[in-house]
Structure 1
Amino acid sequence: MEIHTGISERQRGDIAQGLSRLLADTYTLYLQTHNFHWNVTGPMFNTLHLMFEQQYTELALAVDSIAERIRALGFPAPGTYGQFVKLSSFKETEGVPDAQEMIKILVTGQETVVRTARGLFPIADEVNDEATADLLTQRLQVHEKTAWMLRSLLE
């Protein structure tokens, strides 16, 4: 069935492609954060274990929202590790770094997702896709705040 929302199929496809990259970055960050939650050690264990849990829980909800927006635009959402690896802007960290390095890695991951989301704004703005712009704004707020909180632990 055709979609008649005021945004052409090509434009919706461009937005869906950008959202697919955002989904891949968010899912990769989710996996990394969950891994660090399981494996963190040291004097900051309790603080980081709980913080990482809050962060990966929020990311799990985010991937659902992003995927549902892709579907609302009329396109399939990527959902395999292989697709995410191809679409993601960053790679997972192998092994188990120390707690300080985990924090640095997660700051970089949060900032990567911010850049991916920010890069999609011009496409959404061009076609007045307020729903995608709203989703992007919400994601920017969460990731910028999380990056700030993580950076604060390093000072």
Structure 2
Amino acid sequence: MFALYMKTKNFHWHTSGPHFRDFHLLLDDQADRILAVTDVIAERVRKVGAPTLRSIGDISRRQRFQDNDAESLTAFQMLAELREDNLQMAAYLRETHDICEEQGDVASASFLETWIDEA
């Protein structure tokens, strides 16, 4: 999730073109929402006794999304790539929801249902 936040924020910083302002604001809002979810996930992880992310290296080892630091992406290419990443994130959230239900973690499952619904 944190890697998706960073990718979204990166595209926010590097978007350009005729719709710059709209895309810039959209990506900033999206990044803020992802970061808020990341914080809640970290708190739930700690509450159930598991370790959270510890460093940039830890994030790098765990990330599931491809980096894209190309200098020549259009805003529309960025949005298309983030759309695919967000669809994949929704799939990961559904998988995690199933695990939470199997483990009887109703609170985490409830959070996940909200995020899946918003995806």
TM-score (norm 1): 0.71
Greater relative contact order (Cα < 8 A, sep 6+): 1
Give 5+ residue unaligned stretches, structure 2: none
Report the aligned-residue RMSD. 1.2
Which residue in the other structure is 1:41 paired with?
16
Give 5+ residue unaligned stretches, structure 1: 1-25, 145-155
Identity across matched positions, percent: 28
> 1:94 is paired with a residue of what secondary structure?
coil
State the Cα distance separating 1:67 from its structure 2 match.
Answer: 0.3
Q: How many residues align?
A: 118
State the Cα distance separating 1:122 from its structure 2 match.
Answer: 2.1
Contact residue 27 and residue 63 of structure 1 kept, 8 A: yes
Alignment equivalent of 2:2, drawn from 5, 8, 27: 27
State the Cα distance separating 1:28 from its structure 2 match.
Answer: 0.9
State the Cα distance separating 1:71 from its structure 2 match.
Answer: 0.3
Which residue in the other structure is 1:70 paired with?
45
Task: Compare CA radii of gyration and give the structure with the larger one.
Answer: 1
> 1:82 is paired with a residue of what secondary structure?
helix
State the Cα distance separating 1:74 from its structure 2 match.
Answer: 1.0
Cα distance in 2 for residues equivalent to 1:88 and 1:111: 15
TM-score (norm 2): 0.91
Tell me which moved more, 121-130 or 46-55.
121-130
